Structure 1
Amino acid sequence: MSDASGSSSDRRSDGGTVTGDVPGLESGHGHAFPAKDELKRWFVTTNHKDIGVLYIVTSLFFFIFGGVLALLMRLQLWTSTAPGEGLLSATAYNQAVSAHGLLMVFFFISPFAFGIANYLVPLQLGAKDLAFPRLNALSYWLYLFSGLLFGASFFQEATFSGGWTLYAPLNIPAYTPEIGATTAILALALFVVSVTVSGVNFITTMHRMRAEGLTLRRMPIFSWTILLTVWMMLFAFAALLAALMILTADRLLGTTYFMTEVGGSLLWTHLFWFFGHPEVYIVFFPALGVMAECFQTFTGHRLVGRKWFIIAMVLVALQSFVVWMHHMFLTAINLEIKTLFMATTIGISLPFDLMVFSLIYTMIKGRIKFTTPFLFSFGALLLFIIGGITGVFLGAVVLDYEFRGTYWVVAHFHYVMVGGATALFGGLYYWFPKMTGKMYDEFLGKLHFALYFIGFNLLYFPMFMAWQTPRRVFQYDPVFTTWHQLATVGAFVLGFSFLVMFYNLFKSLTAGEEADDNPWEFGSTAEWAMGSPPPLENFDGVVSYASGKLEFLDPSPAGTGESSGAGATDGGTASDGGVATAADAHAEEHAESHASWWPFLMSLASFVLLLGVSGITTGSMLYVSLTVVGGIAFGGTLLGLTREKFAGPAGPFGESWPFAGVSNMKLGIWVFLASDVVLFGAFIGSHVFLRVAQGWQSWHHMIPEAHVVLPGLINTYLLLTSSFAVVLAMVFSKRENTKGVVASLATTYLLGIGFLINKGIEWQHLFHIHSEAFPNGWGLSTNVASSTFYLTTGLHGLHVTIGLIIVTYMIIRAAYGAYDGNDTPIEYFGLYWHFVDIVWLFLFPLFYIL
């Protein structure tokens, strides 16, 4: 296949090549909103390009936040000091260490990558936008307010100070009693909700909205890495959300999961690292995609072994969920299991070897152009090789006993994670001309890289030399002082390099040279085939790879959805010179129909609600008021979002394998429920783990005799019958029988209410039993058995409550004939409701029979 300039087949070509000039894709399109509304635009935009820019800018803010904390830590480590001496107190140092890790891992690296992905993935796929534009905006605003909530924790006595891994028992109120610690945990939970919303959106888009001929096999490597990343995020972050919800219950409701002496601490490590190790690849995969794109573009050669590169990534994504226990070699798990996980850990390094050699051979076979993006990508490869080799040491049980908890781990971790961030900075330079229409200053870019690479290695490599320093502790053997001082110098060199980057980007944005649509000779993915920055609706025509090359077909007639503008959103661009054209007027009018205040307002309400919840146990009227106001506001904004008329992308789309016969909405629901399976699985798994740890039979002694089977059996019948009623509603809908639809949905509602009432009566009875074994009743805090029962069934009850809110809304609409002849909304609701019922079929025997 030839590349854009007609070179031979070994030249770069991912999913096809750019052919000819594309009419209507001139650079310089301004935004669809007039200048006076520029500020408003950023609050209401749902355009994927705008959301991408917001993600990038916000993540860089949190990068600075975390970076300042890191510099404070390095100043403290200039010399070994006793507690109370030096720049920071012991408590302040612990807060700085914990907050730095949480900010960088959660609020910087992944959001930075997904800012780039938000901007680029729809362009590379040939899509007008992501599948659910308002959900995309919601994911950003939830991310922003989760970060602000984390920042607010510093002003509530103190933020969390137990380390970024939040290990038990340091995460319980006995050791971190501050309100700010609870706020930090709630902020992380809100961040995970943002990630889940984003994951559902990306998975639906990438499986359903690829251009014709753009099969999965031909999809650009960067988009491939994002697809695998969001699948990993969907399951890994669901496990983390379960852990954070349980931890919040321990802190606010008095449950005893992580307070119990038998199994509590080990349970947290299992839950956290089931998320934590896939998170390494969640962070690194987008960086790997950037590296592959830059290596191809700046060597002029197609990625060597591209098919095997993709297969290797898929293997890593799958294997990432079966290596978490190598973080637990120092715990009491038996040697056989440790040996098994040592083997899986060594095994996951093999696909990475293939990918590294693929990148190296791509360089060998091509002609390298040492631009700033390539230098950062090449530097990232070198750093990752060092990080990978030093990580193999930790994968061996015997060596892990020696290195665990030392600065060897700190150095290895940063060579991998910050090594990934190195490539992302290269990606920012690589796509900066496309995003802004301006070229960055190449000299300043190379100066940034030189300072960055020197500062990075001067900061982290001495940590290998001073590996016997205990991590998260500012006291160390004075013999390591020189190494720590070198590291501190390196930290400031690294920090200064980013002043160069920010100056370069700001100067280039305001006074830089105009960028060509494709400033790179061998940039051949679809984003380089349009103006810089791209126009409002991305493509003026239908993107197609059916011929084997990237082409733009004439728009199909209005109403088909693909090119009629159904996928356009606000935040696009306006023509040059400020001359209003008919197209600009249409774009502005069209953008307004795709603008929405509700994602911002709902996220703000979530911030207020969780800020209030963080201190609710104090009884302070301030926190109680915030909780009430936030709860009411959240309900109101949710209702506003559902009632808003909003036009999202409409089909028909191009490649949708393996979901060609599935609508975007149905696939989105399936994906969400897949994450919910992991959420409930983590809760059920926690119950089983603690029960085994306590002794399967002795568990019965922690349960009162009054906890009988009958209430659970009644609830089982109620839920099964309610599912049947939903099926009846679909039947009546097809028959256009309004009364039948209303009656069936009302039956579902009444049965669901009956379920909650029966559950409430059962709980009240158990709360107030008075027996010799339980003189104060059987409440949430009585023992670990009561905690797991109430919290797991309570989570299920919350799902039932959400379903009842939805069905109430549907009953009102059904009364006006909204579903006559249209059973699709009822089917979507049924997917959720049947899932909730199926979960109960697992909970009933687990908590009532076994």
Structure 2
Amino acid sequence: MSELPPKTTVKRWLVTTNHKDVGILYLITALFFLVLGGVMSLLFRAHLWESGGTDLLTSIEYNQAVTTHGLLMVFWFLSPFAAGFANYLVPLQIGAKDLAFPRLNALSYWFYLFSGILFAIAFFQESAFAGGWYMYAPLNVPIYHPAMEATTGSNATILALVMFVLSITLSSVNFLTTIHYSRAEGLGLWNMPLFTWSWLLTVWMMLFAFAALLAALLMLSSDRILLTQYFATEQGSSLMWAHLFWFFGHPEVYIVFFPALGVMFETFQTFTGRRLIGRKWVIIAMVLVAVQSFLVWMHHMFLTTINLEIKTLFMATTIGISLPFDLIVFALIYTMVKGRVRFTTPFLFSMGALVLFILGGITGVFLGAVVLDYEFRGTYWVVAHFHYVMVAGVTALIAGLYYWWPKITGKMYSETLGKLSFAVYFVGFNLLYFPMFLAWETPRRVFHYGEGMEFYHQIATVGAFVLAASWVLIFVTLAYSWIAGPRAPDNPWEYSRTAEWTVPSPPPLENWDGRPSYASGHLEVVDDSTAATDGGATAHETENAAHAGHADHASIWPLVIGAGTFVFFLGLAGLTPYVIEFAEGTGAVSDRLVGTEAEKSILYPIFTLLGAALLGYALFEYGRERFHAPEMAIAERWPFEGVGRTKLGVWIFLASDVVLFGAVIGGYVFLRLHTGWGAWEPVPPSAVVGLLNTYVLLTSSFTVVLALVMAERRNKRGLLGALGATMLLGFTFLVVKGWEWSYEFEHGAYWFTELQYSTYFVTTGLHALHVIFGLLIAGFLLYRIWSVDAYLGDQRPVEFFGVYWHFVDIVWVILFPLFYLM
């Protein structure tokens, strides 16, 4: 399917791969989840009207509402809302006609939507997750929290997060490849628009931070579904969960706030009429923050048993990360001072965001000090500080919504209604969150509070409803604009300076009729029919683009893959109906596994098999589909000149996989040190078996190289033989691994027997899963070679498969000594 239906049809939005359509889908879906999360917050704020709590919610329902609110806002609203702007605007700002991988872009959206649906369904599966959005161990596993957590709904919540992380990973790979590979001629990194700069750093942080979260979620899922013991017994470590989660969690603050900063930069420049003061230093400051964000996570753990020297070190890194932000804040303030401010609706929201963020940042410094953190941790001070930072980012994103609304819709809105929505929003925001500083002695996550705090909580509850009313005003303003607003000019802002304002409102399907270029020092659109390939696009890619005739913008298979994954995870959530019982006082697993008949419904295995079948079929058809993405023959590609587009995407994906395996392997090392390194004997029956598998995989790497040589020589029989040998060796590895596992089972050792068995089975199982994925890819390559003589002369797909396969082999070389020799 290549023809794109009209926007007025439902089919258009189900099959589109165009970056602007996907951006609109992200924006609308994120706003839906905002409303859902907002309703949850109004529920528990109404419950807190009285000091003892009203009868509106039970304690379990309160915990579910708070947890759901936090997860929805942090994961399903904040980042995806920013991603909507990025999808729409980044290709326009850098002079590209679409993202590098349009179908992957659509797939990332469908993973996002279906993950949110899976999350919402949890409420109808006995109980949604109720352990807080940070999911602290050990309360995140059933044995320690059976009343709330031993449910299919809680499992669905965790798997929804896994699916969401898959969406984030696909999106990050896509944006990183696009920005580094598809910038218009003459547009160097230093000269990119600041919103694109902020998003580039955001997706780099996403790539690594969410990989660490995925590792933590996979361990948690294995505890809940496979009954392993990472967090579930006295051997497991709740501290390890905190390390993994906050290694993701603190960069997440900047992942959320950086796009908001990008909006502030753009709107401040436009509505002050001058370039941002200290632009180069602001970019350097953001780069420093992005790097430092991974070095401050332990300030969330000052109340743990980590020694004081480490806590002091992380106190210093926390204070240090505030210094680049000081530079950014002063740059924004000085830009206002040196410019001529125009108080439009977008600028009011941006300036309001700056004021709120300053207050949030100052109060956060308190929490960076070990001594003060002892006093404030676990109180409403943290709640207030957190919202003054995170929702300040939301405030700036609302500015972006107003700022780019004319470009997206082609309609103008009422400035009077817009300014009124800002006034109500700003008052509601401060009524809601500022009293929480005054009521700081209230313990967070508790569904009642002392009588002396009643006044502050009642003001906060009033503020919550005022803030909700401001959102209603925002929606009314934009809806009225959409229905009856005047036609917007292509550029309604006098001093806007980025490329999206040079195209019609809304932009055409492929953005420009020609090829944007900055070679002359300013933006020009030249006739791209005369473009010749430079060193950046490979000859094959240019040839394929020429044969395509035009770019495709529609495919049904991203939707079907998303639906198949959703059904598979829905079934997987119900495959663990059991609660582990512990022998009294020992912490050892008893022989008895108990569960209810309702939980043992045959529907869940059926969903699992049906989802797997649908997913497999959709992936196969996705691979067979002829789809031509827009290709730029001439572009700025530093520092990746000469690297093909797909190869760059593969390398970026593997970078996230390095963090995934690093976190899982790091978890194994942490647990061995935690329990005493010498207390564990190697689990496998013999190191010889592991050595045999090492030779098998290393040999398979040589056969992959041989396959690449055969493809270059257009030797079909040799290519089939070399790839076939690779598959045979991969199957041999799995057979040996299967024998090894069966040997353990025969001797009474399972993944849930002890912690050392859990780490062995999960870590080597994750690697085996990667081997299986590789075999499926190799099988598809063999099918294409046999049926249509594919890859003869165009060896790139074989090369990309080889890169992945070599990575899998390298991981095994690391696992072998850790699990077989030490």
Q: TM-score, normalization: structure 2? A: 0.94
Matched-pair contact (CA < 8 Å) for 1:208–1:653: no
Of 612, 616, 624, which residue of structure 1 is paired with 2:605? 624
- The equivalences for 1:513-552 within 5 A come to 513-552=486-525
Of 77, 87, 100, which residue of structure 1 is paired with 2:69? 100
Matched-pair contact (CA < 8 Å) for 1:212–1:654: yes
Of 61, 68, 71, which residue of structure 1 is paired with 2:42? 71
Matched-pair contact (CA < 8 Å) for 2:71–2:133: yes
**1:48 aligned partner, one-letter code:** H
**1:101 aligned partner, one-letter code:** G
2:146 corresponds to 1:146: no
User: Could you tell me which residue of structure 2 aligns to residue 503 of structure 1?
Assistant: 476
Query: Hey, what's the Cα distance between the residues in 1 that align with 2:109 and 2:666?
Result: 31
User: Could you tell me which residue of structure 1 aligns to residue 581 of structure 2?
Assistant: none
SS of structure 1 residue aligned to 2:525:
strand
SS of structure 2 residue aligned to 1:556:
helix
Matched-pair contact (CA < 8 Å) for 2:60–2:130: yes
- The equivalences for 1:742-761 within 5 A come to 742-761=720-739
2:803 corresponds to 1:834: no
Matched-pair contact (CA < 8 Å) for 1:32–1:536: no
Query: Hey, what's the Cα distance between the residues in 1 that align with 2:719 and 2:154?
Result: 48
- The equivalences for 1:327-406 within 5 A come to 327-406=300-379
Query: How far off is 1:590 after superposition?
Result: 5.8
- The equivalences for 1:392-791 within 5 A come to 392-557=365-530, 593-618=552-577, 619-700=600-681, 707-769=685-747, 777-791=748-762
**2:575 aligned partner, one-letter code:** I
CA change 1:820–1:32 in 2 (3 A) is: closer
**2:813 aligned partner, one-letter code:** L
User: Could you tell me which residue of structure 1 aligns to residue 819 of structure 2?
Assistant: 847
Query: How far off is 1:628 after superposition?
Result: 1.1
RMSD: 1.6
Query: How far off is 1:107 after superposition?
Result: 0.1
**2:783 aligned partner, one-letter code:** I
Q: Could you give the per-residue CA deviations for residues 328-357 of structure 1, whole angstroms, max 9, x where no partner exists? A: 000000000000000000000000000000
User: Could you tell me which residue of structure 1 aligns to residue 588 of structure 2?
Assistant: none
User: Could you tell me which residue of structure 2 aligns to residue 49 of structure 1?
Assistant: 20
Query: Hey, what's the Cα distance between the residues in 1 that align with 2:119 and 2:794?
Result: 44
Matched-pair contact (CA < 8 Å) for 2:533–2:634: no
User: Could you tell me which residue of structure 2 aligns to residue 22 of structure 1?
Assistant: none
Query: Hey, what's the Cα distance between the residues in 2 that align with 1:601 and 1:148?
Result: 15
Matched-pair contact (CA < 8 Å) for 1:80–1:474: no
Query: How far off is 1:555 after superposition?
Result: 2.9
Query: How far off is 1:822 after superposition?
Result: 2.5
Matched-pair contact (CA < 8 Å) for 2:156–2:569: yes
User: Could you tell me which residue of structure 2 aligns to residue 12 of structure 1?
Assistant: none
Of 134, 156, 159, which residue of structure 2 is paired with 1:183? 156
SS of structure 1 residue aligned to 2:576:
helix
**2:216 aligned partner, one-letter code:** A
Matched-pair contact (CA < 8 Å) for 1:51–1:140: yes
SS of structure 2 residue aligned to 1:67:
helix
- The equivalences for 1:124-163 within 5 A come to 124-163=93-132
Query: Hey, what's the Cα distance between the residues in 2 that align with 1:793 and 1:207?
Result: 34
- The equivalences for 1:180-329 within 5 A come to 180-262=153-235, 264-329=237-302
Q: Could you give the per-residue CA deviations for residues 161-195 of structure 1, whole angstroms, max 9, x where no partner exists? A: 00000000111012111110110000000000000
Query: How far off is 1:263 after superposition?
Result: 5.1
Query: How far off is 1:788 after superposition?
Result: 0.3
2:778 corresponds to 1:807: yes
Query: Hey, what's the Cα distance between the residues in 2 that align with 1:738 and 1:61?
Result: 52
- Ranges in structure 2 where 5+ consecutive residues have no aligned partner: 543-547, 578-599
Matched-pair contact (CA < 8 Å) for 1:437–1:532: yes
Query: Hey, what's the Cα distance between the residues in 2 that align with 1:590 and 1:496?
Result: 47
Query: Hey, what's the Cα distance between the residues in 1 that align with 2:5 and 2:674?
Result: 60
CA change 1:844–1:764 in 2 (3 A) is: same
User: Could you tell me which residue of structure 1 aligns to residue 580 of structure 2?
Assistant: none
Of 27, 33, 56, which residue of structure 2 is paired with 1:62? 33
Query: Hey, what's the Cα distance between the residues in 2 that align with 1:436 and 1:32?
Result: 19
User: Could you tell me which residue of structure 1 aligns to residue 582 of structure 2?
Assistant: none
Query: How far off is 1:81 after superposition?
Result: 1.6
- Ranges in structure 1 where 5+ consecutive residues have no aligned partner: 1-30, 568-586, 770-776
2:138 corresponds to 1:166: no
Q: Could you give the per-residue CA deviations for residues 717-748 of structure 1, whole angstroms, max 9, x where no partner exists? A: 00000000011111122222211111111110
Give the number of aligned pairs: 783
Q: Could you give the per-residue CA deviations for residues 262-302 of structure 1, whole angstroms, max 9, x where no partner exists? A: 45100100010000000000000000000000000000010
SS of structure 2 residue aligned to 1:440:
coil
Question: Which of 647-656 and 369-378 deviates more?
Answer: 647-656
SS of structure 1 residue aligned to 2:155:
helix
Query: How far off is 1:557 after superposition?
Result: 4.0
Matched-pair contact (CA < 8 Å) for 1:278–1:321: yes
SS of structure 2 residue aligned to 1:552:
strand
Query: Hey, what's the Cα distance between the residues in 2 that align with 1:388 and 1:669?
Result: 37
Query: Hey, what's the Cα distance between the residues in 2 that align with 1:560 and 1:835?
Result: 31
Matched-pair contact (CA < 8 Å) for 2:184–2:518: yes
Query: How far off is 1:547 after superposition?
Result: 1.3
Query: How far off is 1:430 after superposition?
Result: 0.2
Query: Hey, what's the Cα distance between the residues in 2 that align with 1:649 and 1:825?
Result: 19
Which structure exhibits the higher relative contact order, with contacts defined as CA atoms closer than 8 Å and separated by 6 or more residues?
Answer: 1
Query: How far off is 1:558 after superposition?
Result: 8.5
Query: Hey, what's the Cα distance between the residues in 1 that align with 2:47 and 2:420?
Result: 29
Question: Which of 834-843 and 734-743 deviates more?
Answer: 734-743
Query: Hey, what's the Cα distance between the residues in 2 that align with 1:81 and 1:154?
Result: 26
Query: Hey, what's the Cα distance between the residues in 2 that align with 1:648 and 1:237?
Result: 27
Q: Could you give the per-residue CA deviations for residues 223-246 of structure 1, whole angstroms, max 9, x where no partner exists? A: 000000000000000000011111
Query: Hey, what's the Cα distance between the residues in 2 that align with 1:732 and 1:54?
Result: 44
Query: Hey, what's the Cα distance between the residues in 2 that align with 1:597 and 1:731?
Result: 35
Query: Hey, what's the Cα distance between the residues in 2 that align with 1:464 and 1:69?
Result: 22
Query: Hey, what's the Cα distance between the residues in 1 that align with 2:14 and 2:714?
Result: 41
Q: Could you give the per-residue CA deviations for residues 608-645 of structure 1, whole angstroms, max 9, x where no partner exists? A: 11111100133311111111111100101111111111
Query: Hey, what's the Cα distance between the residues in 2 that align with 1:442 and 1:821?
Result: 60
Matched-pair contact (CA < 8 Å) for 1:124–1:223: yes
Question: Which of 618-627 and 153-162 deviates more?
Answer: 618-627
User: Could you tell me which residue of structure 2 aligns to residue 580 of structure 1?
Assistant: none
CA change 1:263–1:346 in 2 (3 A) is: farther
SS of structure 1 residue aligned to 2:528:
coil
User: Could you tell me which residue of structure 2 aligns to residue 8 of structure 1?
Assistant: none
Percent identity reads: 63
**1:224 aligned partner, one-letter code:** W
Matched-pair contact (CA < 8 Å) for 1:189–1:241: yes
Question: Which of 169-178 and 820-829 deviates more?
Answer: 820-829
**2:220 aligned partner, one-letter code:** L
Question: Which of 59-68 and 548-557 deviates more?
Answer: 548-557
- The equivalences for 1:16-55 within 5 A come to 33-34=5-6, 38-55=9-26
Matched-pair contact (CA < 8 Å) for 2:345–2:419: yes
User: Could you tell me which residue of structure 1 aligns to residue 587 of structure 2?
Assistant: none
Query: Hey, what's the Cα distance between the residues in 1 that align with 2:565 and 2:790?
Result: 31
Query: How far off is 1:439 after superposition?
Result: 0.5
Query: Hey, what's the Cα distance between the residues in 1 that align with 2:625 and 2:793?
Result: 23
Query: Hey, what's the Cα distance between the residues in 1 that align with 2:611 and 2:5?
Result: 31
Query: How far off is 1:559 after superposition?
Result: 8.9
**1:279 aligned partner, one-letter code:** E
Query: How far off is 1:539 after superposition?
Result: 0.7
Query: Hey, what's the Cα distance between the residues in 2 that align with 1:817 and 1:634?
Result: 26
Query: Hey, what's the Cα distance between the residues in 1 that align with 2:371 and 2:406?
Result: 49
